[in-house]
Amino acid sequence: MAMSYEDSLSASRMLSSSVSSLSSRQQSSQIAKAYRQAAQLFLTRRLPEAFSTIEPVITPPETEHTNDSQNGDYPALAPVATASRGTRVKVWSFYLTFLNSVIELGAEEGKNAFGSTRWKALVAKCRDGSVWEEVVRDGYGGIEGNVDADVVINLATLLLTHSPSQKLTQKRLETYISASAQPTFDISLHMESSMYQQNQRKPSPHNNGTSTPRDLNTRIKLLELYTLHVLPRNEEWDYAREFITMSEVLDDERKEAFLLALHSLKEEKEETEVREAQLRQQQQEQLEQRRKEAEARRVEQSRAEDERRKREEENRRQPRSADESLRKSLTSNRQPPPPTSSRASRPAKKAMSPPPGLYKRASSLFAAMQTLILNTAQSMTNNPMALLRTLLFILAFALAFGRQDLRERVQRILRSAWDKIRRTVGMGVKVSYI
């Protein structure tokens, strides 16, 4: 009796599953062993060795890829695609963590460890988002909805950390959320996927990713990444609020918490922008203040330099002025005093003629002064400053006695002293006579 198409298909599935499960257990053991070795190398910071250990597990074999391409089938999957769900999640999560560490090495250390070309290629995967396509293609046969939710979360986190734009992250998350909520049931597509043959991983018609508490928590974490991190980075605040409100996965309590968190994020972003604007304004004001202070210092230095030059010029001119003043003073002292009437001077000379003893004392005084001047001249030859002081004293003495009022005052003092002496001598003569 001829078998129906459905029976033939079912028998083919059972036979394929039994054969592949036997070989998949051995391959899964090898994958788990490679993962443990790579993790140990990663913990000891031997990143190149860790990558060379895990790379064969996540890379499709070239021979299989070539045969599949020639047969017109889908590209061959990496060995990790045949592993159990737990091993598969561990391997891809380790790979994404490894890429994050490679970026954090920095350019100099990364190029020393992996070489310039390899390091740049690893970094570019995370910055342009191509690592997401790599995981979906090599690990899940190109079926977006079949990617494990934990792997999607790690992918989104990696791109949020290192990708300059989150447009691709938003598009990938929207595709995954839509595909996992409304799975496709193209039997031929799943039959051609070796992953389906190995694991029989099909979402049920009523499964939107929340069939178990663990799936529900994972789904909520995905929605948190999408609505509270990716959409705000793309300035999609209104759409994020609407998505939270219309979500069938979130209950009222979680919706309220998400909306409150979204509002807080927006306020924080606005406050940050205000602070950054104020900081830029302060920096601009500080730069302007420094510029003004520098200009004021420059002007002050220029003014001080001008004053210094003026003082130096005045100091150069001052000795010549002093010499001219001294020469004029000496010239004026040599001029004879203004003449007085002979009629007035004669009675004065007769009235002020001092006694012979006063002339003798005056002669002695002038002789002493002459001796002092001679001795001083000899001693001052070696000391010009002392000579200058002596000349200044003589000049002051000459100036003092050159004044007419001072001469008249001295004459009155001498006349008064002479009258007293004369009266005293007269009294003495009378007493002697008596």
Average pLDDT, the chain: 77
- Measured CA to CA in angstroms, residue 360 lies from 72, 356, 365, 367, 368 at distances of 151, 6, 9, 10, 12
Helix 116-128 × helix 85-104 angle, to 10°: 110
User: Strand, coil or helix: what is 44?
Assistant: coil
Cβ atoms of residues 100 and 126 within 8 Å: yes
> Residue 237's pLDDT is what?
94
Q: pTM of the full predicted structure? A: 0.57
Residue 100: pLDDT above 90?
Answer: yes
Percent of the chain scoring above 90 in pLDDT = 40
**111-138 tens-digit pLDDT:** 999 999 999 999 999 999 999 999 999 9
Residue 189: pLDDT above 70?
Answer: no
Q: What is the DSSP letter of 227?
A: I
Distance, in Å, from the CA atom of 306 to the CA atom of 301, rounded to the nearest integer, reads 9
Q: What is the DSSP letter of 236?
A: -
**381-405 tens-digit pLDDT:** 666 676 667 677 777 776 666 667 7
Over residues 372-376, the mean pLDDT reads 70
Phi first, then psi: what are they for 341, rounded to 5°?
Answer: -65, 135
Cβ atoms of residues 180 and 136 within 8 Å: no
> Residue 243's pLDDT is what?
93
Residue that the structure tokens 């420059």 belong to = 298
Please give the biggest Cα pair distance in the chain: 201
Q: Where are the domains of the chain?
A: 11-203, 360-433
End-to-end Cα separation, the chain, in angstroms:
201
Residue that the structure tokens 């309590």 belong to = 253
Q: What is the DSSP letter of 156?
A: H
Confidence of residue 434 (pLDDT cuts 50, 70, 90): low
Q: What is the DSSP letter of 335?
A: S
Percent of the chain scoring above 70 in pLDDT = 67
Joined tokens for residue 276: 């950054």
Over residues 181-207, the mean pLDDT reads 43
**264-315 tens-digit pLDDT:** 999 998 998 899 998 999 899 899 999 999 999 999 999 898 888 888 888 8
Cβ neighbour number for residue 14 with a 10 Å cutoff? 10
